[in-house]
A and B are shown apart, each in its own frame.
Chain A
Amino acid sequence: MLANYLKLALAVLRRRKFFTFVSLFGISFTLAVLLVVTALLDSIVNGYPPETNLERTLGVRDMVMMSPDGKNTWQGPAGYGLLDKYVRTLPSAEKVSILSAEAYWVAAYKNGSKFDVGFKYTDGEFWQILDFQFLEGAAFTADDEKNANFVAVISKSLRERYFGEANAVGKTIEIDGQRFRVVGVVPDVPVYRFTPFADIWVPISTSKSTTYKNELMGGFQAIILAKNAGDFPAIKAEFREALKHAQFPDPKEYNQLYGGADTVLESIARMMFQAPEFDTHVERLVAIFFTLMLLFMLLPAINLVNLNVSRIMERASEIGVRKAFGASRVTLVGQFVTENLVLTLCGGLIGFILSIAVLHFLNTVQIIPYGKGDFHINGRIFFYGMCIITFFGLFSGVYPAWKMSRLNPVQALKGGV
């Protein structure tokens, strides 16, 4: 039966070229956009080098500090003092690294030209949690950080800027009025990998001032490596507990802290819904994302439903004939849904090809700094794509098919609906 459905579906689609074209266009365009967006999100949220340990990593990023009466809130990145005191000490954490909340853009000069350099403070553990492949040299260590050694790891692009084709290790580099000795060179990190991204990484202790050391809020984040994701709940609970007992320099000014050890997705949710709570409402973020996807799919889906319904008229006599010769309602629904699925799958195939082309383009032109060659359709995204397409095919096919199958055969034969 299925083979027949397929054969018929292809015959119908071939014969109704305009309908097929319009439908395919709508479906493939929609899917291509969704796939490109998904691929971009996937490459942020899921673990690609150097974030290969992402599935067992949590981050402490934005926090909320609040006054006793709840009227004053301070929202933003955590401070070094807080992270040092309450995150580094978490019993269930395997490793903790503290680093700048984001890369600062500092001006650098070379041969009289000025350019911006992504600059990040970090520590020795950073290089152990993240999986950088060193092109030359090695990472700086916890001792470098402890002793405030003026050492730096730089990106491949920065090395080219300063030293051309030559090696950089052992040479010095001047950034923002400070001179650092290069100890290692790593490949470029795309700018949207906000945790690892920078052009130059230096020990936190080389900072010009030391006031950061005791601050609860401002300028830093921590990443926590767990033995495995199974330890996440324990780490989260320990951190929450620690925050509840946090000590404040002036409890009359601020005496409450909210935040959490979050996965990437949870961090994004926390930033979006900044609320003085422990919960991140990540499910809200996911719901919003799926709603947007649905809304985006809705238009072409409704369009296809509409086309399909209006074609009931055109195909009324066919339906009458099939019923007269023994097609049951279920069989007819099966036939029309299959037809629609074949159509949407063809559209999906084109959509896949389109999205691969778009991603290839994004990969080559490097619109996003250092985002070169970083986007692809992997098995996971292919799976999402197939889900979207199947949903689309069923959504736009079932209602018209159901309507078709309920036609009175005599009326249908006369071409009326």
Chain B
Amino acid sequence: MIQLEHIEKVYRTDSLETVALSNINVAVQQGEFVSIMGPSGSGKSTLLNMLGLLDEPTAGTIALHGKPLQSFRDKELAQVRNREIGFIFQSFHLISDLRVVDNVEIPLLYRKGLSGSERRKLALEALDAVGLTSRTKHFPTQLSGGQQQRVAIARAIVGKPSLLLADEPTGNLDSAMSEEIMSILHELNQKRGTTIAMVTHDERLATQTDRTIRIFDGRQVQ
């Protein structure tokens, strides 16, 4: 479904040059559940951003369904992100000015042909799926870390993307909640056929996935 070839990502500042990724070759197949592991700072989030077409590599090519990233115009890229990709960010990134349910509706706003009530209905369904039906009118700052995490998950799945990118989706949750989230992800993967790439530090969670990509210091080790 998505293919990364010879990816290199270098962050340059005036004095520093950080190689975040070097010579990464990853192909994620349709319907796969892939986990990404590696120490802190090894480039996992950077890799996930590449898979989500959110960032451009310094060198190398990214192709979605065989079509190279460079060939997308801004509007097409936005469409692809909207329809195909759902992001769960490492630090949630909820919009503090908006209520929970409005946060969850965001991906649907950029989709044509959905009425306000349809959007609301889908958003509430997604919140139901993550067990947050009682907090829909709250603002993000009025929620606990775990609850915010679940809002972020609801927002990522509300648009039924074909590729779900999850950056430590269980990082802030206790083990019971983690299991619950994992079962949601497995269900999406199996029932809807959603392709999932998930960053995790937890070996136990990684073993539940189809395969694990390991990164060390920006390099693929397996």
Residues from chain B with a CB closer than 8 A to the CB of A410 are 49, 54-55
**B82 in contact with A325 (CB, 8 Å):** yes
Complex interface residues of chain A between 301 and 323 (CB less than 8 A to chain B): 317-318, 320-323
Q: Is A178 located at the chain interface by the 8 A CB criterion?
A: no
User: Which residues of chain A come closer than 8 Å to B98, judged between CB atoms?
Assistant: 8, 11
Given contacts A11-B98, A325-B87, A326-B107, contact A331 B55 (CB under 8 A): no
**Which residue on chain B has the smallest CB distance to residue A328?**
B78
Report whether over half of chain A's contact residues are helix, strand or loop; otherwise say mixed: helix
**Complex contacts, B52 vs chain A, CB 8 Å:** 324
The chain B residue with its CB closest to the CB of A413 is B93
B174-208 interface mask toward A, CB cutoff 8 Å, 1 = contact, 0 = none? 00000000000000000000000000000000000
Q: Is the CB of B54 within 8 A of A409?
A: yes
Contact A325 B116 (CB under 8 A): no
A-chain residues with CB within 8 Å of residue B75 when the two chains form the complex: 328-330
Q: List B135-170 residues whose CB lies under 8 Å from chain A.
A: 155, 159
Q: Which one of B74, B89, B106 contacts A413 once the chains associate, using CB atoms below 8 Å?
A: B89
- Contact B89 A326, beta carbon cutoff 8 Å: no
**CA–CA, A1 to B108, complex, Å?**
11
Cβ contacts under 8 Å, B81 to chain A:
323-326
Q: Which residues of B have CB within 8 Å of A328?
A: 74-75, 77-79, 110
Which parts of A1-59 form the interface with B (CB within 8 Å)? 1, 3-4, 8, 11-12, 15-16
Q: Hey, which chain B residues are within 8 Å of A320, CB to CB?
A: 93
A255 to chain B, nearest CB (A): 71
Q: Specify which of B55, B82, B116, B155 is in contact with A409 (CB 8 Å cutoff).
A: B55
How many A-B Cβ pairs are below 8 Å?
76
Quick check: B106 and A325 within 8 Å, CB to CB? yes
How far does the Cβ of A130 sit from chain B's closest Cβ, in whole Å? 59
Q: How large is the interface on B (under 10, 10 to 19, 20 to 34, 35 or more residues)?
A: 20 to 34
**How far, in angstroms, from A321 to B106 measured CA to CA in the complex?**
9
Query: Which A residue's beta carbon lies closest to that of B50?
Result: A410
How far does the alpha carbon of A15 sit from the alpha carbon of B139 in the complex, in Å?
A: 11
Could you tell me the distance between the alpha carbons of A330 and B106 in the complex, rounded to whole angstroms? 16
Q: Is B214 interfacial (CB-CB < 8 Å)? A: no
B148 CB to closest chain A CB (Å) equals 13
Is residue B219 within 8 Å, beta carbon to beta carbon, of the partner chain?
no
Cβ of B95 under 8 Å from chain A: yes
| Distance of A408 from chain B, by nearest CB (Å) | 7
Contact of A331 among B83, B87, B110 (CB under 8 A): B110
* Contact assessment for A408 and B93 in the assembled complex, using a CB-CB cutoff below 8 Å: no
B82 touches A321 (CB 8 A): no
- On A, residues with C-beta under 8 Å from B are 1, 3-4, 8, 11-12, 15-16, 317-318, 320-331, 408-410, 413
Residues of B within 8 A of A (CB): 49, 52, 54-55, 74-75, 77-79, 81-83, 85-87, 89, 93-98, 102, 106-107, 109-111, 116, 155, 159
Q: Offer 13 A-B interface pairs, CB within 8 angstroms, sorted by A.
A: A8-B97, A8-B98, A15-B96, A318-B97, A321-B95, A323-B54, A326-B78, A330-B75, A331-B78, A408-B55, A410-B54, A410-B55, A413-B93
Q: A4-B109, A324-B87, A328-B74 are in contact. List 8 more A-B contacts (CB 8 A).
A: A11-B98, A15-B97, A317-B95, A321-B106, A325-B87, A326-B111, A329-B74, A331-B78
The list of the 8 closest CB pairs from A to B, nearest first, reads A326-B82, A328-B78, A326-B110, A325-B107, A410-B55, A326-B81, A328-B75, A318-B95
